[in-house]
A and B are shown apart, each in its own frame.
Chain A
Amino acid sequence: MKSMITLTINGQRTALEVPPSRTLLELLKGDLHLTGAKLGCGIGECGTCTVIMNGRPVNACLVLAVEADGSDIRTIEGESDGEHMSDLQQAFIDFGAIQCGFCTPGMIMSARALLMRNRNPTRDEIVEAIAGNLCRCTGYKPIIEAIEAVARARNEGGYKTSEDAHAPYVGGAAKRIDGVEKVTGSATFVHDMVLPGMLHARIKISPCASARIVHIDTGKAAAMPGVKAVLAGKDLPYKVGLYLQDKNILARDHVRYQGEMVAAVAAETEEQARAACDAISIQYDVLDPVLDVEEAFASQSRLVHEELGKYSWLKGVFFPKPGTNIAHHQKIRKGDVNDGFARASLITQYEFNNPPVQHAPMETHTAIAQAKPGGMVEITTSAQSPFTVRNLFCHTFGTPHSKVRVRVPYVGGGFGGKAGIHLEPLVYCLSKAAGGRPVKLTCRREEEFNTLPSRQGLHSVVRTGVTKDGKITALDVRYLWDAGAYADYGVNIGRAAAYSGAGPYTIPNCSIDSYVVYTNKVFGTAYRGFGHLEVLWAIERNMDLVAKRLGMDPYDFRMNNLLRTGDTTITGEPFTENHGRPDKCLEIVAKEIGWERRWKQPATRNASGRKLRGVGLAMLHKAPAMPTFTSCSVVIKFNEDASVNVLVSGVDYGQGTYTAFAQIAADELKIPMEKVHIPWDCDTDYTPYDWQTVASRLTVMGGNAIIEAARECLNQIKQMASHALRISPDYLVCENSRVHVKGQPSKGLDYKQLALGYTYPDGNSIGGPVIGHGRCIAHGLTHLHPETGQGLPALDWTYGAHAAEIEVDAETGFIEVLRIVSAFDAGKVINTQQCRSQVIGGVVQGLGSALSEKFIFDKNGCFLNATFKDYKIPTAKDIPQEMRPIFVETPYPAGPHGARGIAEHPMISVPSVIGNAFADATGIEMFEFPLDPETVYMALNYSGSTASVAGNKYVTLETPHCGRQGEP
């Protein structure tokens, strides 16, 4: 029964009729087309839908539209006229308080509500006000700073923006070029999009971890009102997969994890689609799931994929073992480990674990697809690469690439979870089955956790041989990746983590076996620094443990073994002076945290003896993990007024690459940055090829391509100018949007006179519109030798180090991170503000892994914590008191201006540094993260016990060698 309601929205009275179930959020987005507020969880946990109702901030997903009758509502759209930013909007831009932009409208509304009720909020009040707004990108600190600046400026005539007009573009702090769209809520995400005639899809997921599908009855669902298409696995005889085609679009015959998609419906409304999903009846023959990775690794009878031998995969790179659960085995062999152990004076062995976790981007996966007449396909998706989606799509369906158009607009965070291909094939099949109407599928937050892929779990066994004076002679490691039900990115993670799997150290004799093992769990995929956070948990905890056994300062032990010029890596790559300075990074963070002083003092307890303080160190490294032939391309088009459009297909889903691109383009073309426009949508029909936006490779490869494209533009400009000015192009220079004769600035032409070709005073014209293209391909990379892993897998390595000081509340197990200092050899910092934001955001995301995030399964493999209620990511209250990013700049000669990738690295080794600091504080060695309060409490109080259904295991080292001073 519908009711008539009247509301005042952003000062305008609106009357409309609504059904009683509609939420205020649905009303705003669906009926009133105010798309600034976002749907992030649907249960009031994330705050992305925050609007101000009668002066108070509320989650619009938890308010019924009928409840809002008579209310005054203020949304992000009322924050400014779109031309003149409000104080908060401007400050968010100025302070780099935006990355993907999905949380930004809700965040600004919470901040606005605070400023409405409190003229002079303290920092604590600011944090309290925004703690209900989750942000996965920024680490909150820049947001808090932005709000603080506005609050402070209120008593001084209001917030004023400022800009350093003299700062260079490259190496300066240019503001984000997508700032205005994101702070006004006008940036359109796939979540916000509605196409004419669009149907809505819902999925039905498996309730059990392993089962045979006996029967599916979709008859009742198909007959329900509004239903246009119902699909089950039997309708879709296609295999999908990134490197190994092992997955069905919908489960066929078997389900292999709880949460797997089994059937799907497209209907006129989402409610109808959902009701029809409920009406699909499925009969399962439930099987005993394979959940333990060790058991899965050893078993040849209980197989997750009986048909593994029949699948197709990328030969020569991946090595699945049919008849087992091993999807890939990566070997690294360098030197002779037996010999290395024979020369060791101490041999240690430790085991480490980490659980699967989720990326939790604020925008869940969502895609719109339409099967058009003539075999054309149009896909609009929240993905990290339009071209990879297209390529894998065409591979699955045998469609010509030219007939498939994939478009990626603003993306609300990805972190690797939106790399590859996910919902797109299913949504396309639904559209086809529905007669070609566009279909949209947006994952609910529960599905994002339960159905979409995760970061896989890892079990590591690390055996180390060292000499008395602290030189590593041998390292023998076995990594067992708990890949879950499908290979997806997992096989490549197993590969990349193997060639990075000894850490940034020189290891003369090394043997690594990295096994990617199928289990009946939600499958794994890339997650920020994929594989590296996991293996560096093992390696960096191991470095501390071994140092203590030697009675050596872990700082000295690391310094003894770090890669230096003249060394070779474990894949035989020579380490040169151009590789960067891991030693410098370590030196800096140790100095900043006061390591020397700390290490020589016993752990300091606070007065009551309940709070234990400790410091830790950890190293990190990563290179882009990508095919040897990875490439990208860029087009720069001059416009009539000599502004330029830079066309790229690498996706900026928050990391700030496009801003760096604009800086590089402006710098190279000698034009103001405001003249550089980068259209946000990537579109396989219009923007040039780029492989994928993953692996921290985009600034490096795309930046190079932009420089090449810009130079081509300048060549064209100079060619035309040389005719017009009757001088060889060699005598021409470009500056200030102008080309002129060297030494004679007045003898020249404005770019504007040449942008579309040059026209002589008599009307003759030459040249043509200026358009340049640039390309970049990974040079010199090789496949790794199948038996030894030797080869050149990596374009550029980025090294870094963290140091942290923590305080452990021994009575509750709660860890507070007091300080974390992080240093990276970035080669060249293109944008100081964006790099700082990447570090702070990455560190906080790493702290989520370190301190609270984990998947919890029951004994049947059912996923228990698929919401933000029970999967806790850091809030604004959970950030360290102090985070300090520091950059070392050893140029990478093949990078743009010497730059290396930096996006993933800040997250890597954050759990390791916390684990090391924890051991320093408590004398207890942890071998598994997260170090959540209960885990810590149990480790402190119940040595050897098992705590909760999470099944964490605690191991307390019983040898006297584990004391904090490490006396052997």
Chain B
Amino acid sequence: MSIRRYERPLTVKAAVDFLINEEGCATVLAGGTDLIADVRAGREAGLVVDIKHIPELNEIRWEKDGALILGSCVIVQRIAGDAAIRGRYRALSDAAENLGSYQVRCRATIAGNLGNASPCADNAPALLVLNAQVRVASPQGCRETALNGFIRDVKQTVLKRGEIITALIIPPRPPRLRSAFYKIKRVRGHDMALVNAAGAYDPDNREFSLAIGSAACTPVLVRGLEGICPPGSAADAVGDRLAERALADISPIDDVRASAQYRRDMTALLCRRLARTLMEADGPPANGIMQTGGAGG
């Protein structure tokens, strides 16, 4: 394994300083579930800066205005087990619950696979439909940027050298917003998503948002959903329209996990299920994965 040096800063500033002052390769370590496996496979990590002991990065905080601040190093299992998040943002809760095995969820952080720009990151579609912002600390200070656009390509984000994600912010959302997350896997146990999808629906102004993962170089926030759900729309019709828009925005490939065709078809299926789940009071339960017997809509 190739890690030359390990540092454990206790403040964001110290972390940023380590990263910018390092002349060679420097890598941020959060949960390590990707990084340590990569290092085993031969990745040079150089200086590893372990940011998860910085107290503020481990906070889950609801602001007075209703915004939710998720410290970047909050572990996924904490999100999955958080009752308030479950009550308010089901998509995020289910995405967390369906990421990896229990052991992995106990290490993996909420921002980890956003920072790694994984196309199949389970939390990405959920955060995208909730309009999440990424708070970034840089040598110049702090900035916020939309999660949509944050991941530029496979394994590429907008982050520059010396920058770290400190938090994800879900701004105040409409009070009756409903959200859901679904994932298609090869087995019922832990698996990477062949396709994952999250949707959010505000019944008060009939607005939909939809994001698809594992179907393009990056998770995709589907565009052009304005007015997709005029009054009196049937869920199935909306689902078909969502699928149409989604298919226009994704560009899945054939790979070892699935064919592009299967990914496209599953994307359409998830869109229809999301419409039913979110629009019909008695719609199928939102329960994360499709493969659980009886659940998943």
Taken residue by residue from 117 to 133, chain A's Cβ proximity to chain B (1 for < 8 Å, 0 otherwise) reads as 00000000000110111
Does B102 contact A131, Cβ atoms closer than 8 Å?
A: yes
Does A949 contact B6, Cβ atoms closer than 8 Å?
A: no
Say yes or no for B227: interface residue by CB 8 A criterion.
no
Q: Which of B104, B192, B262 contacts A934 (CB 8 A)?
A: B262
With known contacts A20-B3, A865-B256, A809–B290 Cβ distance under 8 A: yes
User: A63-71, A83-91, A151-159, A530-538: which lies at the B interface?
Assistant: A63-71
Chain B residues, CB < 8 A from A934: 186, 194, 258-259, 262
Say yes or no for B293: interface residue by CB 8 A criterion.
yes
Say yes or no for A916: interface residue by CB 8 A criterion.
no
A875–B291 Cα distance when bound, in Å, is 13
Does B103 contact A59, Cβ atoms closer than 8 Å?
A: yes
Q: Which of B6, B37, B189 contacts A874 (CB 8 A)?
A: B189
With known contacts A56-B77, A934-B262, A1–B5 Cβ distance under 8 A: yes
A876–B189 Cα distance when bound, in Å, is 7
Chain A residues, CB < 8 A from B161: none
Minimal beta-carbon separation of A207 from chain B (angstroms):
14
Minimal beta-carbon separation of B9 from chain A (angstroms):
13
A578–B40 Cα distance when bound, in Å, is 56
Does B190 contact A131, Cβ atoms closer than 8 Å?
A: yes
Does A877 contact B188, Cβ atoms closer than 8 Å?
A: yes
A876–B188 Cα distance when bound, in Å, is 9
Q: Which of A43, A44, A110, A865 has the most CB of B within 10 A?
A: A44
With known contacts A21-B3, A814-B291, A875-B190, A42–B256 Cβ distance under 8 A: no
With known contacts A58-B103, A131-B101, A869-B192, A856–B262 Cβ distance under 8 A: no
Minimal beta-carbon separation of B130 from chain A (angstroms):
25
Quick one: closest A residue to B269, CB to CB?
Answer: A811
Interface residues of B in 1-25 (CB under 8 A from A): 1-6, 8
The number of chain A residues with a CB under 8 A from chain B is: 60
Say yes or no for A816: interface residue by CB 8 A criterion.
yes
Quick one: closest B residue to A19, CB to CB?
Answer: B3
Say yes or no for B261: interface residue by CB 8 A criterion.
yes
Chain B residues, CB < 8 A from A947: 259, 261-262
Does B101 contact A47, Cβ atoms closer than 8 Å?
A: yes
Say yes or no for A937: interface residue by CB 8 A criterion.
yes
Taken residue by residue from 36 to 59, chain B's Cβ proximity to chain A (1 for < 8 Å, 0 otherwise) reads as 110110000000101000000000
Minimal beta-carbon separation of A930 from chain B (angstroms):
10
Chain B residues, CB < 8 A from A869: 192
Q: Which of B257, B258, B293 contacts A881 (CB 8 A)?
A: B293
With known contacts A56-B106, A809-B290, A856–B3 Cβ distance under 8 A: no
Does B8 contact A69, Cβ atoms closer than 8 Å?
A: yes
Does A62 contact B107, Cβ atoms closer than 8 Å?
A: yes
Chain A residues, CB < 8 A from B189: 131-132, 872, 874-878
Does B4 contact A1, Cβ atoms closer than 8 Å?
A: yes
Chain B residues, CB < 8 A from A271: 1
Minimal beta-carbon separation of B118 from chain A (angstroms):
12
Does B258 contact A948, Cβ atoms closer than 8 Å?
A: yes
Chain A residues, CB < 8 A from B77: 56
Chain A residues, CB < 8 A from B40: 42-43, 61
Minimal beta-carbon separation of A6 from chain B (angstroms):
13
Minimal beta-carbon separation of A745 from chain B (angstroms):
58
Q: Which of B39, B50, B107 contacts A21 (CB 8 A)?
A: B39
Say yes or no for A23: interface residue by CB 8 A criterion.
yes
Taken residue by residue from 154 to 171, chain B's Cβ proximity to chain A (1 for < 8 Å, 0 otherwise) reads as 000000000000000000
Quick one: closest B residue to A818, CB to CB?
Answer: B293
Interface residues of A in 30-83 (CB under 8 A from B): 42-45, 47, 50, 56-59, 61-64, 66-67, 69
Does A814 contact B50, Cβ atoms closer than 8 Å?
A: no
Chain B residues, CB < 8 A from A129: 102
Say yes or no for B216: interface residue by CB 8 A criterion.
no
Chain A residues, CB < 8 A from B50: 66-67
Chain B residues, CB < 8 A from A881: 293
A729–B184 Cα distance when bound, in Å, is 73
A942–B252 Cα distance when bound, in Å, is 18
Taken residue by residue from 270 to 295, chain B's Cβ proximity to chain A (1 for < 8 Å, 0 otherwise) reads as 00000000000000000000110100
A937–B256 Cα distance when bound, in Å, is 16
Interface residues of B in 100-123 (CB under 8 A from A): 100-104, 106-107
Minimal beta-carbon separation of A908 from chain B (angstroms):
22
Does B37 contact A43, Cβ atoms closer than 8 Å?
A: yes
Quick one: closest A residue to B97, CB to CB?
Answer: A128
Minimal beta-carbon separation of A809 from chain B (angstroms):
7
Minimal beta-carbon separation of A823 from chain B (angstroms):
25
Say yes or no for B191: interface residue by CB 8 A criterion.
yes
Q: Which of A67, A132, A807 contacts B101 (CB 8 A)?
A: A132
Q: Which of B107, B184, B190 contacts A58 (CB 8 A)?
A: B107
Chain A residues, CB < 8 A from B186: 852, 872, 932-934
Does B39 contact A67, Cβ atoms closer than 8 Å?
A: no
Taken residue by residue from 168 to 191, chain B's Cβ proximity to chain A (1 for < 8 Å, 0 otherwise) reads as 000000000000000010111111
Does A937 contact B265, Cβ atoms closer than 8 Å?
A: yes
Does A63 contact B36, Cβ atoms closer than 8 Å?
A: yes
Does A941 contact B291, Cβ atoms closer than 8 Å?
A: no
Minimal beta-carbon separation of A197 from chain B (angstroms):
24
Chain A residues, CB < 8 A from B257: 870
Say yes or no for B266: interface residue by CB 8 A criterion.
yes
Minimal beta-carbon separation of A713 from chain B (angstroms):
49
Chain A residues, CB < 8 A from B65: none
Quick one: closest B residue to A54, CB to CB?
Answer: B106
Say yes or no for A3: interface residue by CB 8 A criterion.
yes
Say yes or no for B251: interface residue by CB 8 A criterion.
no
Q: Which of A874, A933, A949 contacts B254 (CB 8 A)?
A: A949
Chain A residues, CB < 8 A from B100: 44, 132
Chain B residues, CB < 8 A from A110: 102-103
Chain A residues, CB < 8 A from B226: none
Taken residue by residue from 863 to 885, chain A's Cβ proximity to chain B (1 for < 8 Å, 0 otherwise) reads as 01100011010111110010000
With known contacts A56-B77, A949-B255, A44–B37 Cβ distance under 8 A: yes
Say yes or no for B32: interface residue by CB 8 A criterion.
yes
Quick one: closest A residue to B47, CB to CB?
Answer: A20
Say yes or no for A832: interface residue by CB 8 A criterion.
no
Chain B residues, CB < 8 A from A69: 8
Does A57 contact B291, Cβ atoms closer than 8 Å?
A: no
Say yes or no for A938: interface residue by CB 8 A criterion.
yes
Say yes or no for A396: interface residue by CB 8 A criterion.
no
A47–B191 Cα distance when bound, in Å, is 14
Minimal beta-carbon separation of A851 from chain B (angstroms):
8
Does B6 contact A44, Cβ atoms closer than 8 Å?
A: no
Chain B residues, CB < 8 A from A864: 256
Minimal beta-carbon separation of B193 from chain A (angstroms):
12
A932–B269 Cα distance when bound, in Å, is 18
Does A949 contact B259, Cβ atoms closer than 8 Å?
A: yes
Does A870 contact B256, Cβ atoms closer than 8 Å?
A: yes
A702–B286 Cα distance when bound, in Å, is 55
Minimal beta-carbon separation of A110 from chain B (angstroms):
7
Quick one: closest A residue to B262, CB to CB?
Answer: A934
Minimal beta-carbon separation of B28 from chain A (angstroms):
13
Give me the 4 closest cross-chain CB pairs, A-B, nearest first: A132-B101, A875-B189, A21-B1, A948-B259
16 more CB-based (< 8 A) A-B contacts, given A881-B293, A934-B262 = A1-B5, A20-B3, A42-B40, A56-B106, A66-B8, A131-B190, A132-B102, A812-B184, A816-B293, A865-B256, A872-B186, A877-B188, A932-B186, A933-B186, A938-B261, A941-B265
Residues of chain B touching chain A, judged by Cβ–Cβ distance below 8 Å, are 1-6, 8, 29, 32-33, 36-37, 39-40, 48, 50, 77, 100-104, 106-107, 184, 186-192, 194, 254-259, 261-262, 265-266, 269, 290-291, 293
